[in-house]
């Protein structure tokens, strides 16, 4: 399959990406200048010395009275003549001149003082004193941490940024500190975050065997990468972007006339996936709907999408009637009918695949095509179903969740964090790929993802910012691509055009009737027909 070129949809007014590009350009220019300076350092030194010697000779000539300039000139000419007549004289003269120029042009600036300056020393001493109550014990005969003690033994390595704040720090702590307890670690991490400077995100690497804690300041993730065609294989979905040290893969993104490489968090689905279904949690405004729109735009390249929106805010109206979009349901009856069809479609695919295998044939094409079921806020439908005495739509997700991987059916469930308890047991058990977005605490991240993050979450984060964990893998920082609702008035023109360019063409009018249920692989059963048949 030919690779489609990346569309140039990134705007040049993207502040964060522009700052990143400028910083990289400055770093490259600084590295090239340092390399050139190291190579040309002898020539620069000799040139500086010749300039100083010439300036000194000119001053000497200017300070000499006019009646003495003639004898001085005769003396210089005599010395030059004598040097010329001596064997190897010119060569020795040139060597002596270069040596004198090198000595005169040497760098005379005093070397920078070793170790931190006074303000940095005060910061390190403050950190040391703050850690004394946590890393000291009255029974310790030779305490590493004590009030008024020396911080040099406790902090073997440290670096500071241009603002004078800690950028990298290695902390030694006594062996009796309970570094295996989560609460003890959190107390130390919160203390270091407060003392080192809030508003930044720190990565904490605990070395339990060596009794060392490495604190590193992480750069902010770019929050203005818009949606675009990502260079991925079928079955791969880009959830967002993370730190370069966390993944071994980068994606090329177009930025004006240039291209940048960003490390992605890639979620793999399909029959060989170990995490075939996804659960996304977040507070209102955290960017959960943005994540679902981004997933839908990527899924439509290789499969069909069914959207069930419990929020009823019209966040997915741009998908209605598009090629590959089976339905966008917001009403309880339509959601119930669509999920019933999804369960029946999963069973039909399983039967078709089983019959094909028994006959020794490949699975049919309609069973190989990916089917995506995107459910936003199912707890709303659960509440309405209980009030109306109807079946809970979440019960209908059990079949796609349990058997979706074999049938090439993927389920993505999004819910608000405060309503996570209303999720069905099947949803929690079978969604091993997890995403949590918004300003959350370490405890909330651990509850949602099953593991604590290596950083202390910030109190204020941009939309689409959070953490992701795929199965039993590590917890990654995550920034979702900017995929706003193109029909929202608050969306900028650049973002609106970027999303609209990714949408498939509209094949049916919005007011058109849904196709008949005989074509199960292309459209769900209409709500009224499904209710009539089930009754």
Q: Is 3 contained in some domain?
A: no
Say whether 41 sits in a helix, a strand or coil. Answer: helix
pLDDT of residue 112: 55
Single out the residue in 218, 246, 266 at which a domain terminates: 218
Specify if 213 maps to a domain: yes
Classify residue 107 as exposed, middle or buried by CB count within 10 Å of its CB (0-12, 13-18, 19+): exposed
> Which residues are bridge partners to 280 per DSSP?
414, 435
Of the candidates 174, 191, 218, which is a domain's last residue?
218
Same domain membership, residue 345 and residue 294:
yes
Q: What's the Cα-to-Cα distance from 443 to each of 214, 434, 448, 489, rounded to whole Å?
A: 21, 15, 9, 36
Q: Is residue 4 part of a domain?
A: no
Binned at pLDDT 50, 70 and 90, residue 77 comes out as confident
pLDDT digits (tens, 9 = 90+) for 467-520: 999 999 999 999 999 999 999 999 999 889 999 999 999 876 554 444 343 344
Computed over every residue of the chain, the mean pLDDT equals 84
Do 265 and 345 lie in one domain? The reply is yes
Considering the domain architecture, whether residues 353 and 244 belong to the same structural domain is answered as yes
In total, how many domains does the chain have?
3
- Say if residue 515 is in the same domain as residue 484: yes
pLDDT at position 525 over 70: no
Say whether both 32 and 165 belong to one domain. no
In a domain, 8, yes or no: no
The reply to whether 298 and 248 lie within a common domain is yes
Tell me the binding residues: 282-289
**What is the bridge-based pairing of β-strands 264-268 and 258-262?**
unpaired
- Provide CB contacts within 8 A for 104, sequence distance 6+: 48, 49, 52, 53
Q: Does 395 map to a domain?
A: yes
What percent of the chain stands above pLDDT 90?
47
Which CATH number do you get for residue 260?
3.40.50.300
Do 306 and 395 lie in a common domain? yes
Same domain, 331 and 275: yes
CA distance 128 to 206: 18
Regarding whether 383 and 494 lie in a shared domain, the answer is yes
pLDDT of residue 261 exceeding 90, the answer is: no
When mean pLDDT is compared across 84-93, 275-284, 332-341, 379-388, the lowest value belongs to 84-93
**Is it the case that residue 123 has pLDDT exceeding 60?**
yes
**218 pLDDT more than 80:** yes
Residues 381 and 508 in one domain: yes
Average pLDDT over residues 182-187: 89
Please report the pLDDT score of residue 20 as a whole number: 61
Helix segments in 107-181, DSSP class H = 118-135
CA-wise closest residue to 185 among 199, 197, 173:
173
The pLDDT value recorded for residue 155 is 93
Residue 98 counted as domain residue:
no
Q: Decide if pLDDT at 418 tops 70.
A: yes
Residue 200: domain span:
137-218
Report the pLDDT value the prediction gives residue 519, as an integer from 0 to 100. 44
pLDDT at position 29 over 60: yes
Asked if the structure places residue 90 within a domain, the reply is no
Which residues are annotated as part of the binding site for ATP?
282-289
Residues 159 and 256 in one domain: no
Dist CA 130 CA 159 (whole Å): 19
Per-residue pLDDT, averaged over 511-533, amounts to 40
Which of 218, 248, 278 is the last residue in one of the domains? 218
Q: How confident is the model at residue 71 (pLDDT cuts 50, 70, 90)?
A: confident
On whether residue 99 sits in a domain, the answer given is: no
Q: According to DSSP H, which parts of 105-162 are helical?
A: 118-135
Long-range contact set of residues 11-16: C-beta below 8 Å, sequence gap at least 24: 11/226, 11/494, 12/255, 12/256, 13/494, 14/224, 14/225, 14/255, 15/224, 16/220, 16/222, 16/223, 16/224
pLDDT at 105 over 80: no
Statement to judge: residues 204 and 244 lie in one domain: no
pLDDT band at 199 (very low <50, low <70, confident <90, very high): confident
């Amino acid at each position: 399959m030919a690779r489609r070129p990346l569309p140039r949809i990134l705007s040049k007014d993207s502040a964060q990406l522009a700052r990143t590009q400028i910083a990289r350009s400055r770093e490259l220019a600084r590295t090239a200048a340092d390399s050139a300076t190291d190579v040309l350092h002898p020539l620069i030194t000799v040139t500086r010395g010749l300039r100083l010697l010439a300036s000194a000779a000119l001053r000497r000539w200017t300070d000499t009275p006019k009646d003495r300039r003639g004898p001085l000139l005769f003396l210089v000419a005599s010395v030059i003549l004598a040097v010329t007549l001596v064997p190897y004289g010119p060569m020795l003269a040139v060597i002596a001149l270069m040596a004198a120029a090198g000595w005169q042009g040497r760098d005379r600036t005093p070397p920078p003082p070793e170790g931190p300056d006074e303000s940095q020393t005060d910061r390190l001493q403050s950190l040391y004193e703050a850690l004394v109550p946590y890393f000291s014990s009255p029974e310790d005969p030779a305490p590493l941490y004590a009030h008024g003690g020396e911080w040099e033994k406790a902090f073997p390595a440290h670096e500071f940024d241009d603002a004078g704040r800690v950028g990298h720090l290695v902390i030694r702590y006594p062996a009796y500190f309970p570094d295996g307890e989560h609460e003890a670690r959190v107390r130390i991490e919160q203390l270091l975050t407060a003392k080192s400077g809030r508003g930044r995100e720190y990565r904490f690497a605990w070395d339990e065997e060596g009794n060392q804690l490495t604190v590193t300041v992480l750069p902010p993730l770019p929050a203005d990468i818009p949606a675009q065609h990502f260079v991925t294989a079928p079955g791969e979905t880009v959830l967002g972007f993370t730190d370069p040290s966390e993944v071994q893969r980068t994606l090329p993104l177009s930025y004006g006339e240039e291209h940048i490489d960003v490390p992605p968090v890639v979620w793999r689905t399909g029959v060989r996936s170990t995490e075939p279904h996804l659960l996304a949690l977040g507070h209102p405004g955290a960017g959960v709907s943005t994540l679902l729109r981004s997933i839908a735009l990527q899924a439509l390249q290789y499969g069909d999408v069914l959207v069930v929106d419990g929020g009823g805010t019209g966040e997915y109206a741009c998908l209605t009637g598009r090629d590959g979009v089976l339905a966008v349901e917001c009403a309880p009856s339509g959601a119930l009918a669509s999920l019933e069809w999804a369960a029946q479609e999963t069973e039909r695919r399983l039967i078709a695949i089983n019959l094909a295998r028994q006959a020794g044939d490949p699975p049919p094409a309609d069973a190989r095509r990916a089917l995506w079921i995107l459910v936003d806020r199912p707890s709303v439908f659960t509440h309405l179903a209980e009030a109306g005495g109807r079946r809970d739509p979440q019960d209908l997700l059990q079949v796609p969740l349990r058997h979706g991987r074999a049938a090439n059916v993927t389920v993505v469930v999004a819910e608000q964090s405060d309503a996570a308890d209303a999720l069905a047991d099947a949803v929690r058990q079978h969604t091993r790929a997890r995403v949590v977005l918004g300003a959350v605490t370490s405890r909330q991240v651990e509850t949602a993802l099953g593991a604590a993050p290596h950083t202390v979450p910030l109190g204020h984060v941009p939309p689409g910012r959070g953490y992701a964990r795929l199965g039993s893998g590590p917890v990654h920082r995550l920034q979702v691509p900017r995929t706003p609702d193109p029909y929202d008035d608050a969306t900028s023109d650049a973002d609106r055009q970027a999303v609209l360019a990714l949408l498939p063409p509209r094949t049916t009018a919005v007011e058109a009737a849904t196709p008949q249920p005989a074509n199960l692989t292309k459209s769900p059963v209409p709500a009224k027909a499904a209710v009539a048949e089930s009754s």
